[in-house]
Chains A and B, each alone.
Chain A
Amino acid sequence: MASLDDLKKRIASVKSTQKITKAMKMVAAAKLRKAQESAEKGRPYSEKMNNVILNLSSGISDKENAPKLLAGTRQDKVHLCVVMTSDRGLCGGFNSNIIKKAKSYFSKILDENKELKIITVGSKGNDQLKRTYGDKIIENISFKESKNANYFDADKVGKIIIEKFEAGEFDVCTIFYNKFKNVITQIPQAQQIIPLNDEGNENSSDESYEFEPDEDEILSNLLPKNISTQIFKAMLENSASEQGSRMSAMDNATRNAGEMVDKLTIEYNRSRQAAITKELIEIISGAESL
């Protein structure tokens, strides 16, 4: 059995761990509020952007010559997957959930004998993926130095993707991120951004627009921006999810540490009492033998 001193030390160490997890939970809660706010504020932009593009693409007359970013390359050979994860750990299942989702998609693609290319955003995803898919990762982007998700970072990623698309390096691009539902629930998402999936087409009105300059030119100007916007949206959702996930993970950890302290304290008290009893017995039996 562990000595009293050892138990005391363990209790102290669990208590200090609890303090850390508690502090991390508080920080995550504060950051979560901010991240959630900016995710909500960022929504109108991406929604409006989507609407405009839907209106535009329904207005386009010549589908054959539509810009490639919209229609795709008409091939399905090379898939590019952008896996967006966090740069920091200790956030529960946040990163693993994205990776799990991404991995199941990867194996599906490889089973179909298609080529796979991966871009990781955030260092945690890179760490987890490079073991199995190290040879497939073509780029690793990390924004450790920027505090909050910002549009410039998203734009950087978007430009890289477009550059690669124009160089003909892939046919289909999918991004993986966690959609923030609430603090306990984050849903890993796979969203195809090239070619554009026009799901939710129901609100594209058949109202006619005047275009200035013509549709094609607007579209070819707009689509690259849309890529960046979608990535920015994913980044915002991701950062809210990360904080939410960290908050609940740290809450659990704090509670577990509390339980552990209780258990250890009982054990400590028991063994202290046992020592006292033993000493008493020794004294009494010593006195009796006289």
Chain B
Amino acid sequence: MSEEFKIEIVNPEKSFLVKEDVSEVVVPAFEGEMGILKDHISIISFLKPGIIKVSSKSGDENYYVEDGIVEFKNNNLSILTSSIYNLSDMDKSVQQDLLKKAEEEAGKSDINDQAKYLVDQKIEVLKTLN
């Protein structure tokens, strides 16, 4: 029996990625990393900044996301996100830009706790990329 399921990543502009044969996906869910395998229970969660790891027969792919929503149902995984980058063709300069923006935001004085937490996460992840 196959252990594969379908993943679809969409951003507002287009369908970013559609794959029928993924075996495991690790997403940076809000309350910690979450691995999803076939026949996972139906779940809705949202993402914090981090790396989505998609494993399939053709190899692993990594994507950097800043936010998003995950929905898993009937072996269909949908990820909605407004900012996603494929790590393999992500430019160093893009990373630097994002990092700079995040650091600027973290430096603001009127930032609330949750936003601060998210920005810190972002900075941490971006730093490990470089």
Residues of A within 8 A of B (CB): 38, 41-42, 44-46, 48-49, 51-52, 55-56, 150-151, 154-155, 207-213, 218, 221-222, 225, 229, 232
Q: Is the CB of B30 within 8 A of A213?
A: yes
Which of B12, B13, B41, B71 is the one whose CB lies under 8 Å from A52? B71
C-alpha spacing A142/B47, complex, angstroms: 31
Q: Is the CB of B80 within 8 A of A211?
A: no
Which of B14, B29, B44 is the one whose CB lies under 8 Å from A56? B44
Q: Is the CB of A218 within 8 A of B46?
A: yes
C-alpha spacing A56/B73, complex, angstroms: 13
Which bucket holds chain B's interface residue count? 20 to 34
Q: Is the CB of A212 within 8 A of B31?
A: yes
A-B contact count (CB 8 A): 73
Q: Is the CB of A218 within 8 A of B44?
A: yes
Sample of 29 A–B contacts (CB below 8 Å) = A41-B14, A41-B15, A42-B14, A44-B15, A45-B11, A45-B80, A48-B10, A49-B69, A49-B80, A52-B44, A52-B69, A151-B11, A151-B12, A151-B82, A154-B12, A155-B82, A207-B42, A208-B42, A209-B43, A209-B44, A209-B73, A211-B43, A211-B45, A212-B29, A212-B45, A213-B30, A213-B45, A221-B46, A225-B82
Instruction: Tell me which residues across on chain A come within 8 A of B41, comparing CB atoms.
Output: 210
Residue of A nearest to B44 (CB): A209
Q: How far is the CB of A57 from chain B (nearest CB, A)?
A: 12
Interface of A is mostly: helix
Mark out the residues of chain B between 58 and 106 whose CB falls within 8 Å of any chain A CB in the assembled complex: 69, 71, 73, 78, 80, 82
Report if A45-B12 is in contact (Cβ < 8 Å); known contacts: A212-B30, A225-B82.
Answer: yes
Instruction: Tell me which residues across on chain A come within 8 A of B30, comparing CB atoms.
Output: 212-213
Q: Give the most central of B12, B14, B78: most A CB within 10 Å.
A: B12
Q: Is the CB of A48 within 8 A of B12?
A: no
Instruction: Tell me which residues across on chain A come within 8 A of B43, comparing CB atoms.
Output: 209-212
Q: How far is the CB of B82 from chain A (nearest CB, A)?
A: 6
Report if A151-B73 is in contact (Cβ < 8 Å); known contacts: A55-B44, A56-B44.
Answer: no
C-alpha spacing A213/B12, complex, angstroms: 24
Which of A52, A213, A229 is the one whose CB lies under 8 Å from B31? A213
